[in-house]
Each structure stands twice: as structure tokens, then as C-alpha cells.
Amino acid sequence: MRERQIDEFLYGALVSGSILAVSSAHAEDSRSVLFATGLVNITYWLAHVYVDAVGGRFHDHEHSTGWRLAHALRNNTGVLVGSVPPMVVFALARLFGLDLAAAAWTALWFTFVMLGSVGAYAAYRAGARRWPLIGEAAIAFGFGIVVILLKIVLH
């Protein structure tokens, strides 16, 4: 996976976890949680495509907006792909019998671990060791904590 796709993957996972936290706060059924999370993820992906296609024209004078739009649609799929794992974990948790709240918490803790682990791995690959590695991992896990806190505040 290209570095930019990893960035987008993490962005998608963070957005998905956040929307899961919000949509599950007072939901009555899993379908509405998955539907809302999916729709918002698609909206964020389209926003990402828009910014790349239209905003990119400010520095890319050689390609038309149409060309940039086609390019953005092909090359910004990481956001959508990254949004899937938290939703899959939520759906699997429901499938295995967890109630809606427990399934949401499972998906959110999964998102926390995923964001933190990828951040720690990225820091390690970049050469961080000992305290710098711990510091960078803590920052990465901190973004996961934001998702958990969102759920706590809304609950």
C-alpha cells in the first residue's frame, strides 16, 4: 500500500470510528448505525475527492478539473477502505450476539488499537526507539482515545 493510501486508510478508520460512536449513542438497531456510518463515510470520501480534484487545480494548472476528478476517484479509495474495518467489527460483534452497545464498544476499542498500533509501527519504521517511540505511540493511541471519549460523552 502506498504511503498516501495508508494516510487515507487511517483517516477513514478514524472517521468511521467517530461516526460509529455518534450513531450508536442512542440508536435502536444495528442497521441504522451501519447505514448512518456508511453514508457519512461516503460523504467524507466524496469531500476528500472534491478537495483533491478542485482544490488541486490551484497548483496543477496542466490538468482539467475533469481529469483531476477522474484521477481523484481512482486514487482516493484508501478513505473508503479504511472506513470498513470498524464497521465490519461492529457487524460481526452483532452477528455473534453482542447487543448494540457492546458491539459499538467492541468496534471502538478495535479502532483504538488499530490507530495506535499503526501509529507505533509507523514511528518504529521511521527509526524512533525507546522514549521517542513511546511518545509517538502515545500520540497515535491518543487519537483512538478521542473516539472513545466521544462515545463516553454522548452516552
List, for residues 28-74, the tens digit of each pLDDT value: 899 999 999 999 999 999 998 888 888 877 887 888 888 888 988 88
Expressed in percent and rounded to 5, the helix, strand and coil fractions of the chain are 85, 0, 15
Residue 124, C-alpha cell as written in the block: 518504529
CA dist 44 and 31 (Å) reads 20
Give the whole-number percent of the chain exceeding pLDDT 70.
97
Tens of pLDDT along 61-114? 888 888 888 988 888 888 899 999 999 999 999 999 999 999 999 999 999 999
Q: What per-residue confidence (pLDDT) applies to 134?
A: 94
> What's the predicted TM-score (pTM) here?
0.87
CA dist 72 and 95 (Å) reads 35
Q: What per-residue confidence (pLDDT) applies to 15?
A: 93
Residue 16, C-alpha cell as written in the block: 468511521
Which helix (DSSP H) or strand (DSSP E) does residue 122 occupy?
Answer: helix 100-125
